[in-house]
């Protein structure tokens, strides 16, 4: 049986799926036709129900949950992994250099960035959800492919950039400054890990196939952890010329215990995200009685 599979060319995804798509594990009779796209393109493919299995932003999952169920394996959640707002200049100092609490600092920033042009990596990214949660008045947004946001800042096409993925490790090389880590905001608000992206499977597939795919992705992650350099050439071939050091920093940041199994803690973080997003009317209410997860 052949299934269509979409994920990003970023190191965390290629690290996770290397063993699966290159048959380093027993795929139990399944074959995969792979599509590589940036996360916002994958989000829109999920809205259309194009792929059998796909990576998508957790924010976007709210709009595709009627078509897809969430697998326990393959997700990107964690602490200290959030998107960051950056600019060419540091934020203005607090009034009279007063020492501000984190909450006061967020309020202080609101007046500074609410009127600025903000480059975001996509409307339906979890990064944009966190931005909307922290700064609901910041509405002057421009959608830019995540890898082009730093260039847009340097060329003065935007005033502030919302960065994700490996740009966390490279923005300072271009003289850019951090304004705020939105992951810190989420963690202080909720105490939960940040749900960034997950792997979903089409609800039209049988329960047996859904469970098999979940099992295989888990085994693929476990193989990658046991053999971290096994997929190096494959990861590098999709890694936009980043150094091996940056590639593995990226992997270490986004691939962790939640990538093997969400567990109770991971599911609680996801449920919290949807509850907050619904409460703030960032997403519409989910269909009543809908089970988000693939279950036995």
What is the CATH number for 10?
3.40.190.10
Shared domain for 240 and 271, answered yes or no, is: yes
For 163-194, letters b (16+ CB in 10 Å) and e give bbbbbbbebeeeebeebbbbbbbbbebeebbb
Is 23 annotated as catalytic?
Answer: no
Shared domain for 262 and 202, answered yes or no, is: yes
Which of these is catalytic: 108, 165, 238, 250? Answer: 165
Output the average pLDDT for the chain.
Answer: 90
Distance CA 249, CA 227 (A): 16
Judged by phi (left if over 0) then psi (alpha if -120 to 50, else beta), residue 91 lies in beta
In which domain, by residue range, is 38 found?
2-77+195-279
**Residue 150 belongs to some domain of the structure:** yes
Shared domain for 115 and 141, answered yes or no, is: yes
**Beta-carbon neighbour count of residue 258 at 10 Å?**
25
Shared domain for 179 and 225, answered yes or no, is: no
Specify binding-site residues.
Answer: 55-57, 126-127
Our count of domains for the chain comes to 2
- pLDDT of 179 > 70? The answer is yes
- Residue labelled with tokens 């949807």: 274
**Residue 31 belongs to some domain of the structure:** yes
pLDDT tens-digit map of 135-169: 888 889 999 988 899 999 999 999 999 998 777 77
| pLDDT given at position 94 | 54
Shared domain for 94 and 231, answered yes or no, is: no
**Residue 7 belongs to some domain of the structure:** yes
| pLDDT given at position 239 | 85
Mean pLDDT of 258-282: 94
Tokens (6 digits) for 121: 């990596």
**Predicted confidence band at 242 (pLDDT cuts at 50, 70, 90)?**
confident
**Beta-carbon neighbour count of residue 196 at 10 Å?**
27
Specify binding-site residues for substrate.
Answer: 55-57, 126-127
| pLDDT given at position 100 | 62
Share of the chain above pLDDT 70, in %: 94
Distance CA 33, CA 279 (A): 38
pLDDT tens-digit map of 100-121: 676 667 776 777 787 889 999 9
Tell me the three state secondary structure of residue 153.
helix
**Beta-carbon neighbour count of residue 94 at 10 Å?**
13
Please report the DSSP string for 194-221 in residue order.
Answer: EEEEEEEEETTS-HHHHHHHHHHHHHHH
Cβ proximity of 60 and 46 under 8 Å = yes
| pLDDT given at position 120 | 95
Q: Where are the alpha helices (DSSP H) in the chain?
A: 11-21, 39-48, 58-61, 102-113, 126-134, 149-154, 167-170, 182-190, 207-226, 232-237, 244-254, 257-260, 263-279
Shared domain for 34 and 179, answered yes or no, is: no
**Beta-carbon neighbour count of residue 106 at 10 Å?**
18
Of 147, 163, 190, the residue at which a domain comes to its end is 190
pLDDT tens-digit map of 60-93: 999 999 999 999 999 999 888 889 999 888 765 5
DSSP-derived secondary structure letter, 69: E
């Amino acid at each position: 049986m052949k299934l269509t599979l979409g994920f990003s060319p970023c190191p965390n995804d290629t690290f996770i799926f290397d063993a699966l798509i290159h048959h380093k594990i027993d795929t139990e009779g399944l074959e995969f036709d792979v599509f590589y796209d940036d996360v916002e393109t994958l989000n829109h493919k999920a809205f259309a129900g194009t792929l059998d299995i796909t990576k998508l932003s957790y924010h976007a999952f709210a709009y595709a949950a009627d078509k897809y169920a969430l697998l326990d394996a393959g997700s990107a959640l964690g602490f200290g992994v959030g998107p960051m707002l950056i600019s060419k200049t540091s934020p203005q100092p607090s009034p009279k250099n007063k020492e501000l609490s984190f909450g006061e600092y967020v309020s202080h920033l609101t007046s500074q960035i609410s009127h600025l042009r903000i480059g975001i990596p996509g409307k339906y990214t979890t990064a944009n959800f966190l931005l909307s949660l922290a700064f609901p008045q910041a509405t002057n947004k421009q959608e830019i492919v995540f890898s082009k946001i730093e260039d847009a800042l340097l060329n003065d096409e935007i005033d502030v950039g919302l960065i994700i993925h490996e740009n966390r490790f490279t923005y300072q090389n271009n003289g850019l400054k951090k304004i705020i880590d939105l992951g810190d905001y989420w963690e202080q608000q909720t105490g939960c890990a940040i749900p960034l992206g997950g792997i979903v499977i089409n609800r039209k597939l049988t329960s047996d196939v859904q469970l098999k795919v979940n099992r295989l992705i888990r085994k693929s992650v476990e193989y990658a952890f046991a053999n971290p350099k096994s997929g190096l050439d494959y990861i590098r071939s999709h890694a936009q010329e980043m150094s091996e050091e940056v590639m593995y920093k990226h992997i270490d940041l986004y691939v962790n215990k939640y990538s093997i199994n969400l567990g109770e803690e991971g599911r609680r973080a996801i449920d919290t995200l949807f509850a907050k997003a619904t409460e703030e009317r960032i997403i519409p209410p989910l269909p009543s009685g809908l089970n988000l997860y693939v279950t036995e």
